[in-house]
Amino acid sequence: MNSPYSQLDVRGKLKHFLTIDGLSRELLTDILDQADGFLSVAQQAVKKVPLCRGKVIANLFFENSTRTRTTFELAAKRLSADVLNLNISTSATAKGETLLDTLRNLEAMQVDLFVVRHATSGAAHFIAAHAAPHVSVINAGDGSHAHPTQAMLDMFTIRRHKPDFTQLRVAIVGDILHSRVARSQMLALKALGVPEIHVIAPRTLMPARVEEAFGVRVFHDLREGVRDADVVIMLRIQRERMNSALLPSAHEYFYLFGLTEKRLAGARPDAIVMHPGPINRGVEMDSQVADGSRSVILEQVSNGIAVRMAIMSMCLGTQNLRGQQQEAIAHGE
């Protein structure tokens, strides 16, 4: 019998999506392929397919994130699911109800899938371990641990521009130490066969032994780290880091690690620039780069809906309706 923490069901199909760690290249590629099929939904007059009609999806966001929550909500609605958004600040949890009590009450409402964002690492795993057998859980970000759907929308965006992962050099710049996005990105890039991953950060924001843990190369100089990169991923610097001993100031960080056109010139001429958002302009990068021809940041947002549609449909078992999916998309249903 599968462990309660297993992401796969007894048939080896996706049941939960909690972390990239342990997932095969074949499964990650299947997610990207499924997402390809959903891209055209946004171009239809009626932006919906009936794959998850009758399913109930609950967004449990214990931590603010307008962009992630809205793309999950749009993804669920485009699959024709019923969507429940729990307002944590006014919920029973805020009044003292335990997380498990909240879970049990929502299960009594016949919820099929929980999308969970929480400031505590491991929260999504905890909910998956205690959820009813028919319920799936998707991790929308937990503490500094993982943000697997962000990583997959990033992989999808990269593949749209650079189809062969095995030929890429990818540079990730920013707060590697605290970034759940960076951890999930490194795992996904390695699983998909990227041979060279550079992580670039001040020494105070670089995890110890990250080279051994993730098979990456460490740089503390931005120009050296992005040299000949095919993809440059900038990470958001949390405001609290700027006011702590980890960074001297936002101005100093931008001076040393902010991406400008001059610094980007060291990457390959066709390199793309990515950012999970929201951007701190003048801290992680300047506006000339953020709005420039090599930026795919807004494309990442659009791609996030298709990727989350794919992951939701796979967790709910509706990816087996592949033929129906294509037919529904083709007819704009």
- pLDDT for position 263: 97
- Please tell me whether 180 is known to bind a ligand: yes
Token readout for 262 is 């001059």
- Report the C-alpha gap between 290 and 279 in whole angstroms: 8
Q: Note the pLDDT of residue 6.
A: 82
State the pLDDT at residue 251.
Answer: 86
Contact 148, 175 (CB under 8 A): no
Contact in structure between 231 and 300 (CB atoms under 8 Å): no
95 annotated ligand binder? yes
What's this model's pTM, rounded to 2 decimal places?
A: 0.91
Neighbours of 86 (CB within 10 A): 17
Q: What is the C-alpha separation between 125 and 52, in angstroms, rounded?
A: 24
252, containing H or E segment:
helix 250-257
Supply 293's token pair: 């021809």
Residue 239 is labelled as binding a ligand = no
According to the annotation, is 68 in a ligand binding site? Answer: yes
The reply to whether 150 sits in an annotated binding site is yes
Bridge partners, 173 (sequence order) = 200, 234
pLDDT tens track, the chain, 333 positions = 344 458 999 999 999 999 999 999 999 999 999 999 999 998 888 899 999 999 999 999 988 888 899 999 999 999 999 999 986 755 545 555 677 888 888 899 999 999 999 989 999 999 999 999 999 999 999 999 999 999 999 999 999 999 999 999 999 999 999 999 999 999 999 999 999 999 999 999 999 999 999 999 999 999 999 999 999 999 998 866 555 657 778 888 999 999 999 999 999 999 999 999 999 999 999 999 999 999 999 999 999 999 999 999 999 998 654 455 555 555 555
The shares of helix, strand and coil residues in the chain, as percent rounded to the nearest 5, are: 45, 15, 40
161 annotated ligand binder = no
Q: What pLDDT, on the 0 to 100 scale, is given for residue 207?
A: 95
- Integer-rounded Cα Rg, in Å, for the chain is 20
Does the annotation place 277 within a ligand binding site? yes
Per-domain boundaries in the chain = 25-146+304-330, 148-299
Superfamily of domain covering 148-299:
Aspartate/ornithine carbamoyltransferase (3.40.50.1370)
CATH superfamily, domain 25-146+304-330, is Aspartate/ornithine carbamoyltransferase (3.40.50.1370)
Q: What six digits make up the tokens of 60? A: 């449990």
